Amino acid sequence: MLDLTGKTVAVLGAGRSGQAAAVLAAHCGAEVTIYDSREAPGAVLATPATGEGVNVDLVVVSPGIETLGDFVQSFVKGSGALWGEVELAWRCYDGQTIGITGTNGKTTTTELVRDLVEATGKSCVACGNYGVPLSEVVLYEIVPDAISLELSSFQLETIVDFKPDAVIWLNFSPDHMDRYNSVEEYRAAKLRILENISADTPVVVRAGQGLPEKGRVITFSSDEPADWSLRHGDIFCDEEKFLSMSETRLRGLHNAENIMAACSVIPDLSPEIASQALSVYSPPEHRCELVAIIDQVEYLNDSKATNLHALESALRSQTRPTILIAGGKDKGLDYKPLTPLLDKRVKLMISFGEIGAALSSTFADVLKCETVTTLDEAVALATSSAEPGDTVLFSPGTSSFDQFKSYEDRGDAFKAAVPRITKTL
């Protein structure tokens, strides 16, 4: 366990990650103070001016707080090191670390890695940007043999010595342009997962991603040659059939790639063990989740689609005429590259929220677009417009924070609205 005896630590952010980091730092012997820009139990209400007068040995920042913003930088001045919660916790963990990043698919892959590791007889916890903070995991009474660690770009910004035993890089597309100055800056934050790895560290990456030549690269792809590939619904490893997608409860090319990535990073995983584990795995909520089939119309909840790449993946997986409900917070993303796919797959787009009018304006020349204010209005319009055999796809393509607390809250609202509204029409 890390020894912080006699050290002073300022934890910035009083959310779950910040609180967990504070408990862990205190467990390691430090004198800890939590600061937050909003009133929170156990935290000192702080502004950038507060930080100017705080000189500590270590500043630990929660991932939701902008690292280069005035609030964090005011605490850094005159203080010692700056770590993120993941860096602090990882220094207290001795088991196997499987680090998972990418723009989309992280959560499903993180769960798959956990289940597949456990199927080989080891204990494993899914944590980090998914599930529980790593700072909580390392203080469990029984610490797991391995961690399946989902890592966001925000968390990777503040690593120092963090060195995973294996890396999964799923994909990359523009996101969080409200936090980063450029796509290159966002990509650079993601690439930090490779910063400290060894030459023999397995790096699992989608073929064609063009990552730096670091580690022992293992490729996967659903549509081009790779170490792990997909052929007519079957997953192959090094030209030998490994398992069939039909043996799992997952569907779609994106999920086939998630399975490949997860399987390829786990030693001693046989096809038999993988098939047994995947046959009982259910995908997370809010990811192309079938909510209902009403009058032969499918309603899919893909609220987790908080960026263009996730929306694109959801659209590509559709085989029926589609009514798309999209919209939410304006994150400064360019949606025009979706034009050919929308023209091909979508019969009607209904947009709502902060970016609703802009989305309709962008695509009005290529497909029928309608703009409404609320999600309930969008569901009502989609229901009245749908015909038997259609799919109503709720795949927002941006974050939820203009009208909802989280993508989960937004997805739950959609799932509640479908039966309520369809009954009244």
83's CB contacts (< 8 A; 6+ apart) are: 58, 59, 60, 61, 158, 159, 160
Residues of the chain with pLDDT under 50: none
Q: Is 289-424 in the same CATH topology as 93-279? A: no
Please tell me the CATH superfamily of domain 8-87, with its number. Answer: NAD(P)-binding Rossmann-like Domain (3.40.50.720)
**Assigned token pair, 215:** 């580690």
* 8 Å CB contact between 223 and 214: no
Domain ranges within the chain, ordered by starting residue: 8-87, 93-279, 289-424
Q: Three-state SS for 375? A: helix
The third-level CATH classification (topology) of the domain covering 93-279 is: UDP-N-acetylmuramoyl-L-alanine:D-glutamate ligase (3.40.1190)
Cα–Cα dist 290/284, whole Å: 11
Q: What is the pLDDT of residue 237?
A: 96
By CB neighbour count within 10 A (0-12 exposed, 13-18 middle, 19+ buried), where does 271 fall? middle
DSSP state of 338: G
What is the model's pLDDT at position 178?
62
Please count the other Cβ atoms lying within 10 Å of the Cβ belonging to residue 28: 18
CA–CA separation, 157 vs 155, rounded Å? 5
Q: What is the CB-side half-sphere exposure of residue 304 using CA atoms within 13 A?
A: 18
CA dist., res. 80 & res. 64, Å (int): 21
* Sheet order of strands, 202-206 included: 124-128, 146-150, 96-101, 166-169, 202-206, 216-221, 228-231, 234-237, 240-244
353-370 b/e (C-beta count within 10 Å ≥ 16 → b) = bbbbeebbebbeeebebb
- Residue 73 to residue 223: CA distance in whole angstroms: 45
CB 165 within 8 A of CB 155: no
CATH number for region 289-424: 3.90.190.20
Please classify residue 197 by burial: count the beta carbons closer than 10 Å to its beta carbon, then call 0-12 exposed, 13-18 middle and 19+ buried: buried
- What pLDDT shows up at residue 176? 59
- Tell me the residue type at 159: I
Distance CA 39, CA 36 (A): 7
Q: What does the pLDDT read at residue 161?
A: 97
CA atoms within 13 A on the CB side of 264: 32
What does the pLDDT read at residue 168?
97
**Token reading at 157:** 């910004």
Q: Each residue of 276-323: pLDDT tens digit? A: 999 999 877 888 888 888 999 989 999 999 988 889 888 987 878 999
* Dihedral angle over CA of 338, 340, 341, 346, nearest 10: 100
Beta bridge partners of residue 34, listed in sequence order: 11
Q: How many helical (H) and strand (E) elements, i.e. helices and strands, does the chain have?
A: 15, 20
Residues whose CB falls within 8 Å of the CB of residue 1, separated by 6 or more in sequence, listed in order:
27, 28, 92
Say if CB 320 and CB 391 are below 8 A apart.
yes
Can you tell me the distance from the alpha carbon of 299 to that of 379, in angstroms, rounded to the nearest whole number?
10
Which residue from 87, 80, 55 is spatially nearest to 159, judged by alpha carbons? 87
Strands 234-237, 240-244: pairing is antiparallel
Q: What is the pLDDT of residues 119-160, one digit of tens each?
A: 999 999 999 998 799 999 999 999 999 999 999 988 999 999
Q: Count CB atoms within 10 A of the CB of residue 49.
A: 10
